[in-house]
Amino acid sequence: MNQLSNRAFESITRLFHDVSGIKLGDNKQALVSGRLQRLAQEAGEVDLDRYVHRLVQGQATPEELTRVIDKLTTNETYFFREPEHFNDLVERLHAHRKGQDFQVWSAASSSGEEAYSIAMLMSDVLGDSPWRVTGTDLSTSVVASAQQGLYPMDRAAMVPPDYLKRFCLKGQGEHEGKLLIARKLRERVGFMQANLMKPLPSLPLFDVIFLRNVLIYFDMEAKCDIVRRVLTQLKPDGVLYTGHAESLSTLGLPIKVVATAIHVHA
Ligand SMILES: C[S@@+](CC[C@H](N)C(=O)[O-])C[C@H]1O[C@@H](n2cnc3c(N)ncnc32)[C@H](O)[C@@H]1O
């Protein structure tokens, strides 16, 4: 199949930006062409530019548009990514008064590895105390796979062996070679679709918010909007983690940095 023309690339990146807030750079033309090809074929369109034309003219169904947005988001993630935040979280969990509720939000949770890593630590430290993890993401397909909690075994490299035994089940039959997050953990972790660029759905106030490896995709204005919106969900003594490559210090936001990529309300 053909590549997108410059004009079609501009149109589809503008549409994607309008929906998600993410700016795809000019160097992403081949990547975007590749990602759209299968969808175009499935929609019975052999010409990529014509497919894009249909999308931007509003001739696609909302479901088709969702599939396109899902395809264009970057969902890379893994268990216990950037472990410094998890070490910090463990300290906070130990300092937390037992029996009191503890709520954590994995904003931009992708396929759920971050949320389940958090849940493993919370179950370990807080046990049966009231606690919950909420995961949200723009992409409906990653939200659906996060809800399943089923992963290829080779994704478990960063999961401590003790946690693998306690919180993961070995897939059998059709799930051979996979691991399933144990039900007792899945019951405490909920996922839903939410766009950080739009008013947020109804959520509780959180003790800890993970907003990691998503801000890099936005321009400064969108980044500020997102962080301000997310901060409305953070308890007065709560903590916000961002990805290590995502500095907020120059944005003039009402936050204080307490350690690398760890923030509290100013
Ligand atoms: C690279 S993943 C990061 C996953 C995880 N937080 C981590 O650090 O490993 C970025 C995620 O952000 C999501 N995302 C992108 N734009 C978003 C938006 N406007 N609202 C909510 N999620 C968004 C993508 O769908 C993707 O799953």
Residue range 119-155, pLDDT digits in tens:
999 999 999 999 999 999 999 999 999 999 999 999 9
Which residue, 11, 182, 221, 192, is CA-closest to 109?
A: 192
Residue 1 CA to ligand 1 center (angstroms) comes to 29
Tell me the pLDDT tens digit for each residue of 36-66.
999 999 999 989 999 999 999 988 888 899 8
Q: Which two tokens stand for residue 26?
A: 């000019």
Which residues line ligand 1 at a C-beta cut-off of 6 Å?
20-22, 73-77, 81, 108, 110, 114, 137-139, 142, 195-197, 212-214, 243
> Residue 166: helix, strand or coil by DSSP?
helix
Q: Which CATH number fits domain 83-265: 3.40.50.150, 3.30.530.20, 2.40.30.10, 3.40.190.10?
A: 3.40.50.150
Ligand 1, pocket-test mutation among 73, 85, 226, 229, most atoms within 8 A of CB: 73
| Residue 164 pLDDT level (bands cut at 50, 70, 90) | very high
46/28 Cα distance (integer angstroms): 21
pLDDT (tens digit, 9 = 90+) per residue, 230-254? Answer: 999 999 999 999 999 888 988 999 9
Residue 89 CA, ligand 1 centroid: distance in Å: 20
Asked whether this chain's domains 6-72 and 83-265 adopt the same fold, the reply is no
Probe target for ligand 1 pocket from 118, 192, 214, 244, with the most ligand atoms within 8 Å of CB: 214
| CATH number for domain 6-72, candidates 3.40.190.10, 1.10.490.20, 1.10.1060.10, 1.10.155.10 | 1.10.155.10
Asked if 248 and 227 count as a contact pair (C-beta separation under 8 A), the reply is yes
Is the pLDDT confidence value at 172 over 90? Answer: no
Q: What is the pLDDT of residue 90?
A: 98
162 Cβ contact list (under 8 Å, min separation 6) = none
Which is catalytic among the residues 137, 186, 207, 212? 137
N residues, the chain: 266
What pLDDT is stored for residue 23 in this prediction? 86
Cα distance between residue 212 and residue 37, in whole Å: 29
Angle at 264 between CA 130 and CA 246, to 5 degrees: 110
Q: Is residue 89 pLDDT above 80, yes or no?
A: yes
Domain boundaries, the chain: 6-72, 83-265
Is it the case that residue 1 has pLDDT exceeding 70?
Answer: no
Q: Which tokens is 17 given?
A: 């930006």
pTM summary value: 0.93
User: What is the CA(43)–ligand 1 centre distance, in A?
Assistant: 26
